A and B are shown apart, each in its own frame.
Chain A
């Protein structure tokens, strides 16, 4: 291949666009972690085999081997088969989308493939039974499904419609146009200004203006500078960044390239959680492709600008999501945070000035440069422009990945997009921002969500995990769960976090077990205040937020545990399970099935369930051959 420059890249882009326009009949298989677990790769192989067997031309990717040859329209009935990124509708996976109609099939299994080929691919008919159904209405079109059409997808736009492993497809969708603009037409100062004007705030949790961060690094004395992307999405219940890394890896690379131009850096790192092997693989592929096209490496597109990008895998430490711990980990050390200042923009990786942003932030950058700051400002709220991706999980009907403008309300997110609470139960609370955030209740349903409104309430957007809880959830147990998590992940460097979280966990466990006292509640409040003020890093400072917010909004549940010694949620989740001594033959089956060792009894004698230990899972109820287990 001749050396790549701006003109040649443009030629390639035009060809890729033309090739894409020829792709009429497409089968898009979701290849996000969720759908792969559901077997989508097997479907991919089957479609490939079966379409070929039926004499259809199967095309994969836009790959252009010969640069001089023009793209010609394929003759006859061709089928384009693609592995796309995550569609976000993980609850309904494996998902198969058929273009040009835009039909979305849900829960597709191997045995459904023949029918899809037979009816949809060959005859253009819709297979009714595989469509998404809500309240008796079937939705053939992807875009009509309420889950999607109420969203505003800009960062996630290409996740689910694009072959993530194909750089040509990214180019065809105006990929790297923003980078070219920044490289050839803008000064470093102008880039920083554009990002600052757009009001883009860090999507990793803090909400610090990205433009100001970049400008600080730019103003540091010349010398080695780094651009680091934080893909250590450790919040349990959050997977936005994973989906972007898997579904649109080039957008992150492009965003980092633009940041490197702005800050004057020539080397970057993407730090990815070890739990995301697919994201690591996709990013590495994307980097190799970008290097081949002279979009990474030395003398990019024939200019004097060079940028080398590496992928580092984390090794399972939540605290590495904290800036200084993350850089310590890249350096090969224990991932422990350090005292700040100096801040990362002054002394980050290897004590050099470093731009550190998260995946979603970098991913928004190319869009801002390409479409301009005013466009970005037109979305979202005054102080928090743009959109935010959320991972919607827990007791909600439609779990999955969503993107809405900043300022959307919880009601829109949970009820309009999320489809409400599972099993027709009542909404109780939503935990926002994972173990570092707080919970919001019914009274906050209509409040617009943005960085500042949440800060006021003692919660935070965090990286964007939204865990919905229904009326049966015990909030004290939720607080204990999060404290257990942060306590486990505390790196142990500073005393308030190391010792404080342990004490708080002990107290919470005591309360959950109905052994707490009223003084314990005061102690929790006092410890929370002390730890928040004195802990070294964000992990410790925010570790008490779940406790503080549950104490504020659900104090009655704490009181139920410490005063009444009986929590209606922990003990009354379902009716009590009991064994009818008349019907029980003492076979012992239930005893073996019980996951909690709650059933005891002599063989051939009636057994009993210890209601204290019982979690009402119903395992015994399902296995009893005599129907002796009853709900009382």
Chain B
């Protein structure tokens, strides 16, 4: 075990793809779907099982926007900054959330480990702009106020559920 990641499960996923190197992206997607990020130990294990260098695995993992090498919060908030959302003012929403979560500099995850804030380049839900997603659930026609309300609701729900 490392950081809650079960290496047995990771091996299972890699085996499920027949240890084929062309499935590297799909393998990492499946692992990340379960653990939300890829730890160094995971990358090393993938490299060993696929019979390629760690550098190759690392190069692919860092090339694609969707892979994260850092642990993420329980709720992943994505503010869409596609063209349609941008012209309907998504930036103030992003700023408001950043401030609410007291994120500084390059920090993306709130201190309590509950929220991770990201931007995403167009979710294709432009008719509903501006759009914010929380763990891939779409919330449409947002405003800075609605976004903060949503976060507060999640925080309360989380506290209630222990």
Nearest A-chain residue to B92, judged by Cβ: A595
Q: Given the interface contacts A274-B29, A332-B21, does A33 sit within 8 Å of B83 by beta carbon?
A: no
Q: Given the interface contacts A34-B125, A238-B124, A275-B120, does A481 sit within 8 Å of B83 by beta carbon?
A: yes
Q: Would you call B121 and A37 a contact (CB within 8 A)?
A: no
Q: Given the interface contacts A236-B84, A393-B83, does A316 sit within 8 Å of B124 by beta carbon?
A: no
Q: Would you call A93 and B99 a contact (CB within 8 A)?
A: no
Chain A positions within 8 Å of B25 at CB level: 312-313, 315, 329, 332
Q: From DSSP, what is the main secondary structure of chain B's interface residues?
A: helix
Nearest A-chain residue to B59, judged by Cβ: A334
Instruction: Name B11-46 residues within 8 Å CB distance of A.
Output: 20-26, 28-29
Instruction: Name B83-135 residues within 8 Å CB distance of A.
Output: 83-84, 86-89, 91-93, 95-96, 99, 120-129, 131
Chain A positions within 8 Å of B88 at CB level: 394
Complex formed: what's the CA distance from A485 to B85 in Å?
Answer: 14
- A588 is an interface residue with CB less than 8 A from chain B: no
Chain B positions within 8 Å of A236 at CB level: 81-84, 86, 121-122
Interface membership of chain A positions 593-609, coded 1 if the CB is closer than 8 angstroms to chain B and 0 otherwise = 10111000000000000
Q: Given the interface contacts A312-B26, A619-B145, does A90 sit within 8 Å of B63 by beta carbon?
A: no
Q: Would you call A317 and B63 a contact (CB within 8 A)?
A: yes
Q: Would you call A313 and B122 a contact (CB within 8 A)?
A: no
Q: Would you call B83 and A316 a contact (CB within 8 A)?
A: no
Nearest A-chain residue to B56, judged by Cβ: A333
Chain B positions within 8 Å of A316 at CB level: 64-66
Q: Number of contact residues on B: which range applies?
A: 35 or more
- A237 is an interface residue with CB less than 8 A from chain B: yes
Q: Which of the 9-residue segments A151-159, A258-266, A451-459, A465-473 touches chain B? A: A465-473
Chain A positions within 8 Å of B28 at CB level: 315
Chain A positions within 8 Å of B93 at CB level: 595
Q: Would you call B95 and A596 a contact (CB within 8 A)?
A: yes
Chain B positions within 8 Å of A482 at CB level: 83
Taking a contact as CB atoms closer than 8 A, the residue among A235, A334, A491 that contacts B122 in the complex is A235
Taking a contact as CB atoms closer than 8 A, the residue among B99, B136, B144 that contacts A617 in the complex is B144
Instruction: Name B49-63 residues within 8 Å CB distance of A.
Output: 59-60, 63
- B138 is an interface residue with CB less than 8 A from chain A: yes
Chain B positions within 8 Å of A38 at CB level: 128, 140
Nearest B-chain residue to A277, judged by Cβ: B136
Chain B positions within 8 Å of A239 at CB level: 124-126
Chain A: minimal CB distance from B57 (Å): 10
Taking a contact as CB atoms closer than 8 A, the residue among B24, B59, B122, B144 that contacts A275 in the complex is B122
Q: Would you call A332 and B83 a contact (CB within 8 A)?
A: no
Interface membership of chain A positions 343-358, coded 1 if the CB is closer than 8 angstroms to chain B and 0 otherwise = 0000000000000000
Q: Would you call A467 and B87 a contact (CB within 8 A)?
A: yes
Nearest B-chain residue to A489, judged by Cβ: B121
Complex formed: what's the CA distance from A379 to B2 in Å?
Answer: 61
Q: Would you call A332 and B23 a contact (CB within 8 A)?
A: yes
Nearest A-chain residue to B129, judged by Cβ: A393
Chain B: minimal CB distance from A16 (Å): 31
- A83 is an interface residue with CB less than 8 A from chain B: no
Q: Given the interface contacts A315-B66, A393-B129, A399-B126, does A332 sit within 8 Å of B87 by beta carbon?
A: no
- A197 is an interface residue with CB less than 8 A from chain B: no
- B139 is an interface residue with CB less than 8 A from chain A: yes
Chain B positions within 8 Å of A400 at CB level: 127
- B67 is an interface residue with CB less than 8 A from chain A: yes
Instruction: Name A312-326 residues within 8 Å CB distance of B.
Output: 312-318
Q: Would you call A333 and B121 a contact (CB within 8 A)?
A: no
Chain B positions within 8 Å of A615 at CB level: 89, 91-92
Q: Would you call A394 and B87 a contact (CB within 8 A)?
A: yes
Chain B positions within 8 Å of A412 at CB level: none
Nearest A-chain residue to B136, judged by Cβ: A277
- A199 is an interface residue with CB less than 8 A from chain B: no
Q: Would you call B124 and A333 a contact (CB within 8 A)?
A: no
Chain A: minimal CB distance from B102 (Å): 13
Q: Would you call B127 and A93 a contact (CB within 8 A)?
A: yes
Complex formed: what's the CA distance from A34 to B66 in Å?
Answer: 22
Chain A positions within 8 Å of B20 at CB level: 332
Chain B positions within 8 Å of A619 at CB level: 92, 144-145
Chain B positions within 8 Å of A393 at CB level: 83-84, 126-127, 129
Chain A positions within 8 Å of B124 at CB level: 33, 233, 238-239, 242, 275-276
Nearest A-chain residue to B61, judged by Cβ: A315
Q: Would you call A331 and B63 a contact (CB within 8 A)?
A: no
Q: Given the interface contacts A467-B83, A467-B87, does A315 sit within 8 Å of B67 by beta carbon?
A: yes
Chain A positions within 8 Å of B138 at CB level: 33, 36-37
Nearest B-chain residue to A335, judged by Cβ: B63
Chain A positions within 8 Å of B129 at CB level: 393, 399
Q: Would you call B128 and A465 a contact (CB within 8 A)?
A: no
Chain A positions within 8 Å of B131 at CB level: 37
Instruction: Name A28-70 residues within 8 Å CB distance of B.
Output: 33-34, 36-38
Nearest A-chain residue to B93, judged by Cβ: A595
Q: Would you call B66 and A391 a contact (CB within 8 A)?
A: no
Chain A: minimal CB distance from B53 (Å): 13
Q: Would you call A91 and B121 a contact (CB within 8 A)?
A: no
Nearest B-chain residue to A481, judged by Cβ: B86
Complex formed: what's the CA distance from A331 to B96 in Å?
Answer: 40
Chain B positions within 8 Å of A235 at CB level: 122
Chain A positions within 8 Å of B121 at CB level: 234, 236, 318, 485, 488-489
Q: Would you call A473 and B145 a contact (CB within 8 A)?
A: no
Complex formed: what's the CA distance from A36 to B125 in Å?
Answer: 10
Q: Would you call A334 and B144 a contact (CB within 8 A)?
A: no
- A431 is an interface residue with CB less than 8 A from chain B: yes
7 A-B contacts (beta carbon < 8 Å) = A236-B83, A315-B66, A393-B126, A399-B84, A434-B83, A595-B96, A597-B99
Interface set of B (CB-CB < 8 Å, partner A): 20-26, 28-29, 59-60, 63-67, 81-84, 86-89, 91-93, 95-96, 99, 120-129, 131, 136-140, 144-145
Interface set of A (CB-CB < 8 Å, partner B): 33-34, 36-38, 90-91, 93, 233-239, 242, 274-277, 312-318, 329-336, 391, 393-395, 399-400, 431, 434, 465, 467, 469, 473, 481-482, 485, 488-489, 491, 593, 595-597, 615, 617, 619, 622
The 8 closest A-B pairs by CB, nearest first: A90-B127, A316-B65, A315-B64, A37-B138, A236-B82, A239-B124, A236-B122, A237-B83
Given contact pairs A37-B139, A237-B84, enumerate 17 new A-B contacts (beta carbons under 8 Å).
A34-B128, A34-B140, A38-B128, A234-B121, A236-B83, A237-B126, A239-B126, A275-B123, A312-B26, A313-B25, A315-B67, A332-B21, A332-B22, A391-B126, A467-B84, A595-B92, A597-B99
